[in-house]
Structure formats: C-alpha cells, structure tokens
Structure 1
C-alpha cells in the first residue's frame, strides 16, 4: 500500500509499505480521509518525545472497515467508522480513577504507532465509532478534532446565555465557536491577527471579530475566555479579559518550555476559574452524535490533498492559508 512515512525528524516521503495485518481485537480500515493537525507538524519536526521513527502519521482518521482480526465481531466489514486514536494504558493511577486522557503511559494511533496517512491502517476495534453513510466526507473527517472541542466544553461551567471570547480563528478556535454557540452562548467574539480568517469566522459562528481584543465593547469582561492558540501573548491578554467570577479555558497547546505572567491576586480577588482541557475524554460518541444531529462543520475543510501531495499539504498548513486540511489516501 501507499503511505506517508516520517523516516526521521524533518523528513517525510510517500512510499510503498507492507499492508497492515489486523492483530486479535483489531480491524483494518481503508482510510477515506485523515486531517492534518499541529501534532503532525510537531512529530515531523521532532518535537514530540513520545513519537518513534519511522512512523506513518495521522490521527484524525475515518474510513471503511475492510478486514477483521481474530475475535472481532463488530464493526463488520463495510462499516463506515471514525477512529478514536487515543489508547490509554488502563492500568496507571489516572486510568484507574477515570482520567484516561491523563494516562502516564499514553499511546496513540499516528503518534506512537502507525496512523491514517495511508491507504490502510490497523486499529483496535474498540476505537471504531460507526458513522451513517449520509454523513459527508468532510464531517466524517472532523469527528476527532470535534471530540476535543466537546471535551473542552464539558470542562466549562456551561451556564446558559454567557458571553464568550475566543483567541484564534484557526480550525480549533472556529470549532469551539460553533460548539459553544450550539450549547447556548449569548454571544461569541473571536480575535485573531489574520483578517481573512476573521472574515470567515464572522460568516461561520462569530458575532464579533477583531484583530485586537481591546476593540470589543465589554468593559466588564467576558464570562468565558478561551485560548485556542497556545500563544503566550494571547494567553496573558485573555486572562485579563475574564470578568469577575468568570472562567479562562486553556485549550491551545503552548510550548511546554514557556510560562505566562498573570496576577494571582486578581484570580483570588475576582474568583476567576482557570481550567485546562487536554485531548479527548468520553467525548468521541457525543461528537459523532452532534454531527449526525445537525451541527454543520463542513465549511471548515478548505483543502483536500492526495498522498502524493503531502508536501503541498504541509506547505499550506505552515503558511496559515485556508482552514482544515484533509489528506485523502484513496480516491484522489
């Protein structure tokens, strides 16, 4: 089969590799679509210590089951599925207290084992979630990132009719805007230095947009502020935009070596809640249910590339043009 292969940090190639064989409890999925994510860039650049090389990357995958390993009765061959790439160990302290996304021995499809930038991939059957054939290809490929947004939403107080400020009009910021709007936000404001992305945000899910948060007319601040950038300057600014009794959600992935400055006195004196949200936790099926019940995210997908154009996909991602980029291993 054909697959994208990260042979070492900084080197990606499309190559012929052996077809995967399903181990007991696994299925083989013919990959229809797999999203390109910032995590893939960190792996390509050698910035994710848990990764190994050579590696077939890609963890936002969807496709069709084409083979079953021993002991698998469901999903059956022909089932359309989205694949949860996360594989907590099940034995560490955090797994045992029901916090598998914080697992001490975490592994993941496309990160620590071969993933979805390939025509075929072997995955645990338990990681497969059935999708209706009526769901669009674009929506099917967004289940995994949407599940991250759903987990983030579940971390918030979720009080009705509150005003939200979101830093970042990239895919995840836009997805968070759509999710909080669907959950009953009174208003959603989005700040980003990229004016083209802001214009799309306004047409997609934002009530107000700005390149500088000072432009928003909310002197008392926002009930909920969400960072979807990981940029320290945005985080520091966002912490200052939370109203008394409000919540700041750290959703973007920051450089682990960086720190942000804030006023502990203000956090104390204004009773500000600071919350983190990491990856997926009991949120994959709810993400499928949201998409199948009418949440429309298809416009987030701006580009689809075949395996042979993976370098073009990476260039488009790094340039910041467009929105969500999908790789389609079969059919393009």
Structure 2
C-alpha cells in the first residue's frame, strides 16, 4: 500500500505529521500533489477540540495549491499537470440559501479540512467540481493564498466603494491585510489598518498601507483623514470584542460596516449609534465561486509574498502550528515534500 505524510488532528491539542494511505480516486475526482497549504484561524479551534463539527482523526487544511497527478472525469478540460486550487465549500443544495443562489451561506455548510479530510498533506483527493485552475506561472505559495484572498474579495464586494475616500480595516492579520490590499487596488485613496501587535503594523506599513495602533491613535488618524466625519467604510477583520465596540464610533453617518471577522460569541455593539448615524452593518461569510476567480486574476498584481512570513516542511507541522498559535506571525505555510513510499 502506498503511503503519504499528512497533518493530522488526532485529538484536543494534537496536530502531528502522520503516515496515512495514499487516497484512491473514483469517478469525477482528482488526486492533487500539494505544493503549499496554509493555516487558517479556524484551524486553532479544530486543534483545540472546540470546533463543533471537526472530529479526529482528520487531515486539516483548506488553503492549498497543487498539481493534478490523476483525474477521472468526462466533464472537465482539466488534465494531469494543471496547477489548481480548491473551492472548499460543501453545500447541501436543498436549503433556502442553496436554492436561491447563495450556497456559500448554506444552512448546513461544510468544508474540506473541517468535515472531511483536507489538503495539508502530500496528496489530497478532491471532487473535480471543486477545482479551479491557476495560471502556470503562479508560484505554489501564492496559489495557497487564493482562498483567504477570496474571503477579502467577497468582503469588499459586499459594499459599493464608489466615492469612498477613507476605509479602516480593524485587524492586521492575513484577512485584514488582504482586505486592505484589495481595497487599495480598487482605488480607495486612504486605507488604514489597525492592530495591537507592532509586528503586524510593521508588515502593513511595508505593504504601503496606513498602519496605526488600535484605540485612540486609530480614531485620531481616521478623523484627520476624513475631516472629522469618520471612515466611509469599516472592515471588521479581527473578530474582537474591542473592535466591535469601537467600530460604530469610527464610521461616518450613513457609513458602512462590513463584518468579515468571526466572533466566537455574541459581542456588544452600540446600536444607538447604528440608529442615530443610520449606519449600515453587513455580514460577510467566506466567498462565492466568482470571488475565487477574481482572486486568481488579482493575485499576481498584489505584493502577496510579504503576507507569507513563515513556511515549514510537512514533517515539522507540529512546530509550525505552535508558531502560528503564538500569533506574532502572519501567514504560515506548509510546503509538503515528496514522500510516497
């Protein structure tokens, strides 16, 4: 039996590189040799054992790029050797959201790497329908950023940026930085990123963004840039109670707040400010297929290399996860090596 190495969630607090059988594909499936796979904030809850759906043993990972090595399909033009990423959402197809064109907010939404084995492995078996072709010239580490970039593309698309002069992004992690870069690419003159970690503010500055500490300094800068009116748009990317409290004071009257951050529990929001300022508050969850395509088209135009601050071989996944969990890093990638035996 051919074996491969995979990053396996084995129980609360346990993420290890483990040998498992090489997947065998069926009709309308493909076997992908993984070039790179990134950690996501949701992986923290999986490995902590607090995610409501993820059950051990499980191969984690849904931010990936690779090449097709085997494919069994009569319904696609994809062939072995093509570079691809995966659209990792698994929708039920029957709920109201699915039947009304919004399967990304399916009532029973599942994902690769959460509900079924993901791609932080040397190889991954995926449905052909989930594959999206990448340009041949796109490096593997950039391809692995398409999924988080699509999150930001979707969040930006939730509101109209026409006439927007000042946008504030709360949270300088990967999603916050990518959201800021997309907003900048869409022509917003002033994009401000806030965080509490100096390392993230330094990274934001290196990307050509306004970077400022959360709190009083952030409000001062936003008001200076907006003649005291407040930001036209706030993109909440931290999922933090403190950003939920401050976002209504940072946005102008009739401004827009887009929530991309995933809050772990209900938080306080100043609904009086929402009322008095007629603030529009919008949710943004994951992405649609068109957001993936937009992200693929946009990726090579953005300085995404700087987002990847650390990379590790697959055999060192436990060490990589410890680094990621510390929070000082930005995007951590696993780069699998050939290991089939």
What TM-score, normalized by structure 2, do the two folds share? 0.92
d(CA) in 1 for partners of 2:276, 2:267: 22
Deviates more, 1:136-145 or 1:206-215: 206-215
Q: Of 148, 151, 154, which aligns to 2:151?
A: 148
Which of residues 116, 121, 131 in structure 1 aligns to 2:119? 116
User: For residues 186-265 of structure 1, what are the structure 2 equivalents within 5 Å?
Assistant: 186-212=189-215, 213-216=218-221, 218=223, 219-255=228-264, 257-262=265-270, 264-265=271-272
Give the distance between the partners of 2:247 and 2:235, measured in 1 at CA: 8
Query: Where do 1:178-189 residues align within 5 Å?
Result: 178-189=181-192
Q: Secondary structure at the match of 1:216?
A: helix
Q: Deviations over 1:222-267 (max 9, x none)?
A: 1111111101011111121110110011111111x332131x3322
Specify which of 303, 308, 313 is matched with residue 296 of structure 1: 303
User: Retained in 2: the 8 A contact 1:163–1:222?
Assistant: yes
Q: Distance in 2 between matches of 1:35 and 1:79?
A: 20
What do the CA deviations read for 1:113-172 (whole angstroms, capped 9, x no partner)?
Answer: 111111111111111111122112221110000011111011112223420111111111
Task: Give the number of aligned pairs.
Answer: 329
Matches of 2:110 and 2:329, distance apart in 1? 30
Could you tell me which residue of structure 2 aligns to residue 13 of structure 1?
16
User: 2:316 maps to what in 1?
Assistant: 309
Q: SS of the residue aligned with 1:268? A: helix
TM-score, normalised with respect to structure 1:
0.95
**Are residues 1:321 and 2:328 paired?**
yes
C-alpha distance in 2 between matches for 1:105 and 1:25: 23
Q: Does the Cα contact within 8 Å between 2:5 and 2:122 map onto a contact in 1?
A: yes
State the 1:72 CA deviation: 5.3
Residue 217 of structure 1 deviates from its aligned partner by: 5.1
Give the aligned partner of residue 57 of structure 1. Answer: 60
Q: Say what the alpha-carbon RMSD is for the aligned residues.
A: 1.6
Task: Quote how far apart the aligned CAs of 1:210 are.
Answer: 2.9
Extract unaligned runs of 5+ from structure 2: none
Q: CA deviation at 1:23?
A: 2.2
- Whether the aligned pair in 2 keeps the contact of 1:223 and 1:247 (CA below 8 Å) is yes
Is 1:286 aligned to residue 294 of structure 2?
Answer: yes
